[in-house]
Amino acid sequence: MDIKLDDALEAAKQLLGCKLVHQTPEGITSGTIVETEAYTSEDPASHTFRGQTKRNKVMFGPAGYAYIYFTYGMHYCFNIVTGPIGSGQGVLIRALEPVDGIELMKARRGMNDERQLTNGPAKLVQAMGITKSDYGANLLDSGKLRVEPGIKPKKVTQTTRIGIGQAVDHPWRFYTTGNPYVSKLS
C-alpha cells in the first residue's frame, strides 16, 4: 500500500491501515491507524482556516510532516500534513490499534486496559510518547517518528467529525469499520 498524501480527504482514507511508529530511548511503540479526520484551509474547524501562523506553519509546507499542537490546555494531538505546499491541509490521527510496545504504552498511560490506550487523539500521543519536539518531523523517512505502509482495511466507515464546534456536518471522519480501538462508533 502506497501512502498518498495529495489531498486531506483522500489521505484520511489512505492512512487507515498504515502503521505509526515511534522510537524513543524508552523503546519502540507502534500502532495501526484505525481512525482519522481530514481538515483543509477552507474548513472553519481547521487550524489553517485563518491563514498561516507560527503555530500551524508546518501545515503549509510539504506533505508528510508532523503537526503537533496543544489543546484544551492539557493535551497534545498529532496530525499528518497533506496536500500541496501552501494548501494548509492535514489529517488528525484519532485512534490506533496498538501493535508494538504495548507494555510501554500502558506505563505511559498509567493503565492496563489495552482498548483505552490509543482510542483518542490525546491518548495515542501520550501512549506513543509523542511530544512537541516531534513537531515538523518528516514522517515518510526512516526517522524515529514515521508512518509505514500497512494493510488496507476491508471496510471503512465515513461520518462526521468529533469534538468540534464548526463545520460539524462535514463527513470527514473515517474509521476501520468494526475495529474495537476506534474512539467513538457512529
Query: Could you tell me which of 95, 102, 100 has the C-alpha nearest to residue 121?
Result: 95
Instruction: Read off the DSSP letter of residue 34.
Output: E
Q: List, for residues 148-182, the tens digit of each pLDDT value.
A: 999 999 999 999 878 777 777 789 899 999 999 99
* pLDDT attached to residue 45: 59
Residue 1 has pLDDT above 60, yes or no: no
The answer to which of 24-38, 45-59, 73-87 has the lowest mean pLDDT is 45-59
Buried b / exposed e over 43-56, threshold 16 CB at 10 Å, is: bebbbbbeeeeeeb
> Confidence band (pLDDT; 50, 70, 90) for 64?
very high
What pTM value is reported for the model?
A: 0.93
* pLDDT attached to residue 181: 97
Query: Could you tell me which of 39, 19, 10, 61 has the C-alpha nearest to residue 161?
Result: 39
Mean per-residue pLDDT for 68-72? 82
Q: Which three cell numbers stand for residue 147?
A: 508512518
Between residues 90 and 161, the one the model is more confident about: 90
- H-helix or E-strand containing 174? strand 173-176
> Percent of the chain having pLDDT more than 90?
69
* pLDDT attached to residue 186: 64
Mean per-residue pLDDT for 54-81? 86
According to CATH, the superfamily of the domain at 8-176 is Methylpurine-DNA glycosylase (MPG) (3.10.300.10)
